[in-house]
């Protein structure tokens, strides 16, 4: 394997290392800027990995999805929940476009029913979870956009064990964020669950899409 072929996998390994090691920063007394950059490093490197693998519009779309995810990670720290959510929303819209371009030719009735029910079910949970009712409406709208993305991933040609599962992990992670604003506010495990589901969900999505496009770039 030459250096050009090896580079994306070295970047992917660095992405996993950055995402896993970010948890260690929670117990460190480091400047806010360093914490923000550390948080964004994992998914930023996933975007770089996708960019190094990109050979088509779809390859650049998954690169953009990861880039907006990384931007959202950092804006959550720098500018707050609303601004960060906007960056994530842009990423979800790009992902929906990607998955629509790569629709699965044959979807079973049960698979389609799951995808359809996922959106309202996620919205209802997002509405009910926060104790702060002022957050409920915004949480519902955002979560339903995320659920649409996950439903499109589930019915795309990309492998469900990677991309579909990763998208569902992303959904659960965000629902746990809203649960932390409610009944799970003081749960010791909640922060680790949110980050772990989110980061590894993004990693599964990125790897699943890029590997599929490398084998078969055309839907």
Question: DSSP string spanning 50-86?
Answer: HHHH--SHHHHHHHHHHHHHHHHHHHHHHT-HHHHHH
CA gap 92, 1 in Å, rounded: 34
Reported confidence tier of residue 128, pLDDT bands at 50, 70, 90: very high
Phi and psi (nearest 5°) for 18? -65, -45
The model scores a pTM over 0.75? yes
CA–CA–CA angle 114, 191, 207 (5° rounding) = 55
CA gap 181, 177 in Å, rounded: 7
Average pLDDT over residues 77-106: 94
pLDDT of 4 higher than 70:
no
pLDDT digits (tens, 9 = 90+) for 9-68: 999 999 999 999 999 999 898 999 999 999 999 999 999 999 999 999 999 999 999 999
CA gap 192, 180 in Å, rounded: 12
Q: For the CA atoms of 127, 129, 134, 136, what is the dihedral angle to 10 degrees?
A: -20
3-state DSSP assignment of residue 103: strand
CA gap 142, 86 in Å, rounded: 9
Query: How many Cα atoms sit within 13 Å of 104 on the Cβ side?
Result: 19
pLDDT of residue 188: 86
Phi and psi (nearest 5°) for 181? -90, 10
pLDDT of residue 3: 61
């Amino acid at each position: 394997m030459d250096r050009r072929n090896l580079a994306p996998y070295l970047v992917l390994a660095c992405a996993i290392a950055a995402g896993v090691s970010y948890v260690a920063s929670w117990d460190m007394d480091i400047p806010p800027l360093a914490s923000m950059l550390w948080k964004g490093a994992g998914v930023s490197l996933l975007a770089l990995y996708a960019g190094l693998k990109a050979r088509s519009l779809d390859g650049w779309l998954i690169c953009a999805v990861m880039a907006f995810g990384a931007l959202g990670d950092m804006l959550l720290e720098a500018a707050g929940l609303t601004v960060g959510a906007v960056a994530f929303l842009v990423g979800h819209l790009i992902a929906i476009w990607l998955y629509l371009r790569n629709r699965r030719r044959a979807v079973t009735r049960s698979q389609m029913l799951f995808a359809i029910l996922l959106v309202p079910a996620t919205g209802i949970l997002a509405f009910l979870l926060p104790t702060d009712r002022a957050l409920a409406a915004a949480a519902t709208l955002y979560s339903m956009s995320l659920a649409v993305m996950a439903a499109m991933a589930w019915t795309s040609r990309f492998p469900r064990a990677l991309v579909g599962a990763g998208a569902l992990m992303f959904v659960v992670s965000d629902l746990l964020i809203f649960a932390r604003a409610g009944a799970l506010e003081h749960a010791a495990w909640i922060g680790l669950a949110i980050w772990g589901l989110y980061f590894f969900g993004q990693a599964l999505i990125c790897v699943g899409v890029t590997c599929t496009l490398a084998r078969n770039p055309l839907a």
